Amino acid sequence: METINNYTGNILIADLASGECETEELSQELVEKALGGAAINMELYEQYKDRDPLILGTGFFTATFFPCSCLAVLTGKSPVTGAIGHVPLTWQVGVELKLSGFDFVVLLGAADKPVRLWLHDGLSDINESQDVWGKDVWESVDKIREAYGDDMIQTLLIGKAGENKVPLAQVSENYWGSKDSFGFGAVFGAKNLKAIAMRGLGALEVAEGFFQKCIELKNEILNGAIKGKSGLKDFIAPLGIDTSIKAKIESATHRLNACYNCPYPCYTFFKYREAPSVMAQTGVADPGCLTSGLAGLTRFYMLGIDAPRAMEKCFKVGLQPAAAAQILEKKGIKDLAAAEAALDALASDPVKPEGSTWPIAVNLPPAASIFSSAIPPKPVFSPVSDFGAQDAGQFWVRRQALAYTIGMCPICAVLTPEVSTEKIVELVRMSAEWDDFSVDKLNSILDNLIAKSSG
Ligand code: SF4
């Protein structure tokens, strides 16, 4: 098989009903048709639509040197919207998946007992997972890493909410929840799939000169709209969120973290079982929690409770924090103990999230519903005109479609006007040695993704 730069060339077909895995070749034809990420996921979804598919895929640039190229995307039918949803998975998920030897994973059917999928070194196994069924997300991550003997394993998994198949259930990236606003935790639960565990020690072929171009683009980003800003705290004022929340975030912040190759560390670690000002961790078990979920954090602060601790509870049971906080607000809950009890109850409650989970007005067109609502609903530090766009809502949908296809974090995508469509086209052309790739071709791939997902 001829190597396709940036990809491993493998699609895994994991039949959960039979317990069998097969590997198929990622064809040049499919890459030229849909490029990657959500766009190829959608093609695979349609190909297998009669077999209850859930598709996990990486973008064209995922795990390369392209800035913010950490992304994997989970595509399937959402129990929240009843339609197609694409979940962006950040941190290390896309990198670990691709370097474990698989660009795309097609999960078919349902297992008859709890299982997990284990991916490493180009190998795949569907293993029994009764040992962690019923355990919370944090304990399950530890036990799965222990079972496979490697602390660096990345996991996508569910807690009690997913096992109970409730629409508020999230698929979690390791301990810290995710940007899943589609209830795919319930889809994992219905498939009896507790977890996907991945360890990526492989390598990718990239085109000559690609690394240098990516370094130049990253430097441009670092000196552009994000310069001098960091963390979730700096999103507050530009997004129009209650500015008193910024001080609350700052006083509890221990450190900021960034996902793979990201120039903007938005992940914020809150320390509350020891002083946040003590930089070292002194052996206190579970000193705090890490999140990039600003909508949930803000909503919990607006209830007047210790928001990071409420986020921790959501992460442990596997609930979508922003939607859960919205429900707690309706119940009139105003203290942490009551909130934790209510969150426990929500992990068994078939209630659905309602509307936008942001505590600000959101004006997005209907097509936006195919992408995660956890992403800031407008550019954060720059006007849309800096991205070469006019209509803010249309811009958001297309920018998300682009990020989910090339494998760029969709939060980064709304922070970085320096990453223009023209530069992306140049880098795709160079990487794929695809001389006639053009802005028009990229636009038609994005149009197809949006049309097929919305149809
Ligand atoms: S913007 Fe935040 S979520 Fe996105 S890649 Fe950077 S650190 Fe990760």
DSSP letters spanning 134-182: TS-HHHHHHHHHHHHT-TT-EEEE--HHHHTT-TTB--EETTS--S--S
Look at ligand 1, atom 2, and give the residue with the nearest C-alpha: 266
Indicate which atom in ligand 1 lies nearest the CA of residue 91: 8
| Domain assignment of residue 351, yes or no | no
| Domain assignment of residue 219, yes or no | no
410 CA → ligand 1 middle, Å: 8
Look at ligand 1, atom 7, and give the residue with the nearest C-alpha: 258
Indicate which atom in ligand 1 lies nearest the CA of residue 257: 7
18 and 109 belong to one structural domain: yes
**How many domains, the chain?**
3
**Once rounded to an integer, what is the mean pLDDT over residues 284-300?**
93
Indicate which atom in ligand 1 lies nearest the CA of residue 71: 5
Instruction: Mark which of 346, 374, 393 sits at the end of a domain.
Output: 346
**Once rounded to an integer, what is the mean pLDDT over residues 296-314?**
97
69 CA → ligand 1 middle, Å: 10
pLDDT of residue 439: 97
Q: Residue 335 above 90 pLDDT?
A: yes
Q: Residue 135 above 80 pLDDT?
A: yes
Q: Are 329 and 298 in contact (CB under 8 A)?
A: no
Nearest to 303 by CA among 376, 242, 378: 242
pLDDT of residue 426: 96
Distance CA 455, CA 83 (A): 9
Q: Residue 98 above 60 pLDDT?
A: yes
Q: How many CA atoms lie within 13 A of 259 on its CB side?
A: 32
Tokens of 330: 């309706």
393 and 449 belong to one structural domain: yes
- In testing the pocket of ligand 1, which one of 372, 412, 415, 416 has its CB within 8 Å of the most ligand atoms? 412
328 CA → ligand 1 middle, Å: 27
> Quick one: what percent of the chain has pLDDT higher than 90?
93
Nearest to 168 by CA among 294, 319, 313: 319
> Quick one: what percent of the chain has pLDDT higher than 70?
99
DSSP label of 371: B
Q: Is 118 helix (H, G, I), strand (E, B) or coil?
A: strand
Nearest to 71 by CA among 102, 92, 99: 92
pLDDT of residue 413: 98
pLDDT of residue 144: 98
Look at ligand 1, atom 8, and give the residue with the nearest C-alpha: 259
Q: Residue 1 above 60 pLDDT?
A: no
408 and 339 belong to one structural domain: no
Q: Residue 102 above 80 pLDDT?
A: yes
264 CA → ligand 1 middle, Å: 6
282 and 372 belong to one structural domain: no
**Once rounded to an integer, what is the mean pLDDT over residues 382-411?**
97
Q: Are 44 and 55 in contact (CB under 8 A)?
A: yes
316 CA → ligand 1 middle, Å: 21
What's this model's pTM, rounded to 2 decimal places?
A: 0.97
Distance CA 350, CA 73 (A): 25
Let me know if 266 is exposed, middle or buried by CB neighbors in 10 A (0-12, 13-18, 19+): buried
160 and 256 belong to one structural domain: no
| Domain assignment of residue 224, yes or no | no
Q: Are strands 172-173 and 154-157 parallel, antiparallel or unpaired?
A: antiparallel
pLDDT of residue 455: 82
Distance of CA 77 to the CA centre of its chain: 16
| Domain assignment of residue 182, yes or no | yes
410 and 288 belong to one structural domain: no
What angle, 0 to 180 degrees and rounded to 10, lies between the N-to-C axes of helices 392-406 and 439-454?
100
319 and 374 belong to one structural domain: no
Q: Residue 56 above 60 pLDDT?
A: yes
393 CA → ligand 1 middle, Å: 22
Q: Residue 341 above 80 pLDDT?
A: yes
400 CA → ligand 1 middle, Å: 14
Residue ranges around ligand 1 (CB below 6 Å): 68, 70, 90, 258-259, 262, 264-267, 292, 409, 411-412
| Domain assignment of residue 285, yes or no | yes
342 and 372 belong to one structural domain: no
- In testing the pocket of ligand 1, which one of 73, 222, 234, 264 has its CB within 8 Å of the most ligand atoms? 264
The mean predicted confidence, pLDDT, of the chain is 96
pLDDT of residue 2: 63
pLDDT tens string 174-193:
999 999 999 999 999 999 99
- In testing the pocket of ligand 1, which one of 61, 70, 87, 90 has its CB within 8 Å of the most ligand atoms? 90
238 and 194 belong to one structural domain: no
Look at ligand 1, atom 1, and give the residue with the nearest C-alpha: 412
235 and 120 belong to one structural domain: no
267 CA → ligand 1 middle, Å: 7
192 and 243 belong to one structural domain: no
pLDDT tens string 246-287:
999 999 999 999 999 999 999 999 999 988 777 776 778 888
371 and 428 belong to one structural domain: yes
| Domain extent at residue 401 | 366-454
| Domain assignment of residue 225, yes or no | no
Q: Are strands 104-108 and 10-15 parallel, antiparallel or unpaired?
A: parallel
Distance CA 317, CA 160 (A): 5
Q: Residue 412 above 60 pLDDT?
A: yes
| Domain assignment of residue 211, yes or no | no
pLDDT of residue 171: 98
260 CA → ligand 1 middle, Å: 8
The CATH code of the domain that includes 44 is 3.60.9.10
266 CA → ligand 1 middle, Å: 5
| Domain assignment of residue 327, yes or no | yes
- In testing the pocket of ligand 1, which one of 62, 68, 87 has its CB within 8 Å of the most ligand atoms? 68
Q: Are 118 and 124 in contact (CB under 8 A)?
A: yes
77 CA → ligand 1 middle, Å: 25
145 CA → ligand 1 middle, Å: 24
Distance CA 27, CA 33 (A): 10
Q: Is 44 left (phi over 0), alpha (psi -120 to 50) or beta?
A: alpha
Identity at 354, one-letter amino acid code: E
**Once rounded to an integer, what is the mean pLDDT over residues 286-304?**
95
Indicate which atom in ligand 1 lies nearest the CA of residue 263: 6
Q: Residue 355 above 90 pLDDT?
A: no
